[in-house]
Structure 1
Amino acid sequence: MCQHQPECPAARCPDGQAARSVASHPEQGWWLLCNGILLFEDTGSLLPDGRVTAPHRPAATVATS
C-alpha cells in the first residue's frame, strides 16, 4: 500500500503510528496514515482490521502542596 521510500511501517508493527499521513482533519481530531491506521488526537487509533488501540497519553500529574 505504501509508496514512500523507505516504506512506512506496517499497521501491525509496534511503530505503525510513525507512518506518513495521507489525509488529515485536525479540526475533527483524526489523521489517516498510509498504512491504513486511523489515528485520533487523543492518541487512540483504529487499525485496518477493525481493532481499536486505546489512547496511551501519559496520565496528568496533580501537584500537591
Structure 2
Amino acid sequence: MCTHTPKCPSAISPDREAAQVVAAHPEQGWSLLCNALVLFDDTGELLPDGQIITPHRPLAAVTA
C-alpha cells in the first residue's frame, strides 16, 4: 500500500506508528496510515488483520 520512498514500516513492525497518514479524521479520533493501520487518538490501534492493540499512552506520574 505504501508508495513512499523509503517505504513506511509494515503494520506488524514495532515502529508501525511511524507510517505516513493517508486519511485523518481528528473529529472522530482516528487516522488511517499508509500501512493500513488505524491509529486512534487514545493510542489504541487496529491492525489490518483485525487485531486490536490496546492504548499504550504513558501513565501520568502519581504523586502522594
Q: TM-score, with normalisation over the residues of structure 2?
A: 0.94
Partner of 1:26: 26
Q: Gaps spanning 5+ residues in structure 2: where? A: none
Partner of 1:47: 47
Corresponding letter in the other structure for 2:48: P
SS in 2 for 1:39: strand
- Report runs of 4+ in structure 1 exceeding 6 Å deviation: none
> How many positions carry a matched residue from both structures?
64
Q: TM-score, with normalisation over the residues of structure 1?
A: 0.93
Post-superposition offset of 1:36: 0.2
Q: Gaps spanning 5+ residues in structure 1: where? A: none
| Distance across 1 between alignment mates of 2:62 and 2:15 | 30
For the aligned residue pairs, the C-alpha RMSD in angstroms reads 0.8
Q: What whole-Å deviation, never above 9, does each CA across 1:6-63 have from its counterpart, x for those lacking one?
A: 0000000000111000000111110000000000000000000000000000112232
| Distance across 2 between alignment mates of 1:34 and 1:27 | 20
Q: Percent identical across equivalent pairs?
A: 61
